[in-house]
């Protein structure tokens, strides 16, 4: 099978989607990743693909903040005043919901002072300190601009930061002139080059896509349930149709996971509205498809792209954004249209409550009779509806379990790792 998406594009996709959710945090993360790349390069020990791996981890170093902070407020103040909450959540999310379980602890410790870290039995503590130092340098550089020089932090050498990280930064600054590049545009342009060496397996990419979904749904559990339901419905229907092979199954999976990542661009009130009353609101709601289009175009397998961007099309040509008709769409796209609609009816959205599966089935049959959906697909859905409902339930149960586990471990760690008494 041709690759559905390259490792590098998978990571760019994640970064671009997270940026829609919070530009401020992610641009800080991209700049920090740039610093980490050149610091590690200056050391000359790691191979390019190993550096790439840490660069990507660095980009994710603040994802815990999506859970713990009201990111619309305060200029990254959580980083300086009370950093433990987002560190712990970032660690737990990566540990439980990503392919980086073994490296997740690096994030747990990146705000811990070097003199404490030194005594902790953890073999990647050096990397924690590298990221911790880089992210602090970026923050101050960003806030203070040219009034800041990383050497201002020398008084913390041996206390907050190891000597090694200063040595690395010295070379990164001199040899690679990293501070000339430390701005939003440059960091964004350079980022793809820094992760060129990444090599994730198909399974890891799948887990990355799931991780992305979990992160963007931190504050909207129902959106997560709805997307997971659409994944299950699409895959279950596909199982019963002939001629859908393994490759197509996996395309359907990625398409379903990613189809609504553009919803961040829609104001919450409009995303949640039971009814959209005027043209302007309708336009704003529909924009989420254009956003997905932008993010996926030419970066992912064309069939996956089509599955994602055509999920609101209808076979009679009344859908959006393009008003495509039956003959212009493939089977996978039509499966996604049914799955997305059925998942929305079943789980609900915003002010709209979910409905019992039997009601969902009759609405779907009715819409099918009005030539909105492919007949065979809706029939397969209807015939297997109770199985599908069970599968959705068990997936949702295990998701709630994972969240519970994470919250429990959060409380346990929080009791041990305290915020620093005084920020630097
Ligand atoms: Fe942080
Ligand atoms: Fe940070
Ligand atoms: Fe949608």
* For the chain, domain boundaries: 7-201, 217-403
Q: How far is the CA of 45 from the centre of ligand 1 (A)?
A: 25
pLDDT tops 80 at residue 423:
no
Percent of the residues in the chain that have a pLDDT greater than 90, as a whole number: 76
* Cα of 75 from ligand 1 centre, angstroms: 12
CATH node for 7-201: 1.10.3210.10
Average pLDDT over residues 73-97: 82
**How much of the chain exceeds pLDDT 70, in percent?**
97
* pLDDT tens digits, one per residue of 145-160: 889 999 999 999 999 9
pLDDT of residue 66: 83
| Peptide bond before residue 370 is cis, with ω within 30 degrees of 0 | no
Question: What angle (nearest 5°) sits at the alpha carbon of residue 80, between those of residues 417 and 420?
Answer: 35
What's the mean pLDDT in 125-136?
A: 96
Quote the ligand 3 centre to 236 CA distance (angstroms): 20
DSSP string computed for 257-305: HHTTGGGGGS-HHHHH-SS--SHHHHHHHHHHHHHHHHHHTTTS-HHHH
Burial degree of 275 (CB within 10 A; 0-12, 13-18, 19+): exposed
Nearest bound ligand to the CA of residue 82: 1
Q: Which residues, including other chains, have CB under 8 Å from residue 418's CB and lie 6 or more apart?
A: 84
**Cβ-based neighbour number of residue 242 at 10 Å:** 4
CATH architecture of 217-403: Orthogonal Bundle (1.10)
Distance 246 CA to ligand 2 centre (A): 40
Of 371, 396, 337, 424, nearest in space to 156 by CA:
424
Ligand 1 mean position to 420 CA, how many Å? 13
Ligand nearest to the CA of 58: 2
**Contact 233/342 with Cβ under 8 angstroms?**
yes
Lowest mean pLDDT among 150-159, 165-174, 260-269, 352-361: 260-269
DSSP 418: P
Neighbouring residues of 346: CB distance < 8 A, sequence distance ≥ 6: 229, 354, 355, 357, 360, 389, 392
Give me ligand 1 centre to Cα 87, in Å. Answer: 6
Q: How far apart are CA 257 and CA 358, in angstroms?
A: 25
| One-character DSSP codes across 74-139 | SSSHHHHSS-HHHHHHHHHHHHHHSTTGGGTHHHHTTTS-HHHHTTS--TTHHHHHHHHHHHHHHH
Which ligand is closest in space to the CA of residue 80?
Answer: 1
Ligand positioned closest to the Cα atom of 22? 2
Cβ 70 vs Cβ 21: under 8 Å: no
Any idea which ligand is nearest the CA of 30? 2
Between the CA of 101 and the centroid of ligand 1 the distance, in Å, is: 18
Distance (Å, rounded) from C-alpha 415 to C-alpha 412? 5
Query: What global pTM score does this model have?
Result: 0.91
- Cα angle at 269 between 267 and 270, to 5 degrees? 70
User: How high is the pLDDT of residue 402?
Assistant: 86
Q: What is the pLDDT of residue 71?
A: 60
Closest CA to 204 of 100, 101, 99: 99
Mean pLDDT (whole number) for 86-111: 91
Query: Predicted confidence band at 217 (pLDDT cuts at 50, 70, 90)?
Result: confident
Q: How confident is residue 421, by pLDDT bands cut at 50, 70 and 90?
A: low
Other Cβ atoms less than 10 A from the Cβ of 265: the count is: 18
Q: Is residue 69 within 8 Å of residue 225, measured between CB atoms?
A: no
Whether the pLDDT of residue 75 is over 60: the answer is no
Q: How far is the CA of 251 from the centre of ligand 2 (A)?
A: 34
Same-fold call for 7-201 versus 217-403: yes
């Amino acid at each position: 099978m041709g690759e559905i998406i390259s490792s590098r594009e998978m990571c760019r996709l994640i970064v671009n989607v997270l940026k829609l959710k919070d530009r401020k945090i992610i641009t800080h993360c991209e700049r920090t990743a740039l610093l980490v790349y050149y610091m590690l390069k200056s050391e000359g020990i790691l191979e390019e693909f190993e550096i790439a791996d840490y660069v990507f981890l660095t980009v994710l170093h603040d994802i815990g903040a999506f859970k713990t902070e009201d990111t619309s407020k305060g200029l990254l103040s959580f980083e300086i005043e009370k950093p433990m909450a987002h560190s712990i959540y970032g660690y737990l999310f990566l540990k439980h919901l990503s392919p980086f379980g073994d490296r997740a602890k690096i994030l747990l410790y990146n705000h811990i002072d070097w003199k404490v870290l030194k005594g902790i039995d953890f073999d990647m503590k050096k990397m924690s300190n590298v990221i911790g130092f880089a992210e602090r340098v970026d923050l101050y550089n960003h806030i203070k601009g040219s009034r800041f020089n990383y050497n201002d932090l020398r008084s913390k050498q041996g206390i907050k930061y190891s000597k090694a990280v200063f040595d690395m930064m010295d070379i990164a600054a001199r040899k690679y002139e990293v501070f000339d590049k430390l701005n939003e545009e440059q960091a964004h342009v350079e980022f793809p080059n820094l992760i060129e060496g990444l090599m994730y397996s198909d399974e890891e990419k799948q887990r990355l896509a799931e991780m992305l979904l979990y992160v963007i749904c931190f504050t909207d559990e129902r959106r997560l349930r709805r997307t997971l339901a659409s994944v299950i419905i699409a895959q279950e229907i596909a199982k019963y149709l002939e001629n859908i092979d393994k490759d197509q199954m996996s395309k359907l999976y990625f398409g379903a996971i990613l189809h609504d990542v553009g919803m961040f661009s829609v104001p919450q009130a409009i995303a949640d509205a039971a009814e959209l009353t005027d043209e302007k609101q309708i336009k704003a709601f529909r924009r989420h498809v254009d956003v997905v289009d932008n993010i996926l175009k030419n970066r992912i397998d064309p069939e996956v792209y089509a599955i994602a961007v055509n999920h609101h099309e209808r076979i009679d040509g009344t859908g959006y954004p393009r008003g495509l008709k039956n003959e212009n769409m493939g089977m996978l796209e039509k499966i996604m249209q049914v799955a997305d609609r059925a998942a929305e009816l079943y789980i609900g959205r915003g002010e709209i409550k979910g409905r019992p599966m039997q009601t969902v089935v009759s609405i779907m049959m009715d819409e099918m009779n009005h030539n909105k959906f492919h007949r065979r697909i809706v029939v397969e859905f209807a015939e297997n509806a109770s199985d599908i409902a069970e599968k959705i339930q068990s997936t949702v149960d295990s998701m709630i379990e994972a969240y519970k586990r994470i919250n429990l471990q959060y409380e346990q760690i929080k009791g041990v790792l305290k915020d620093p008494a005084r920020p630097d």
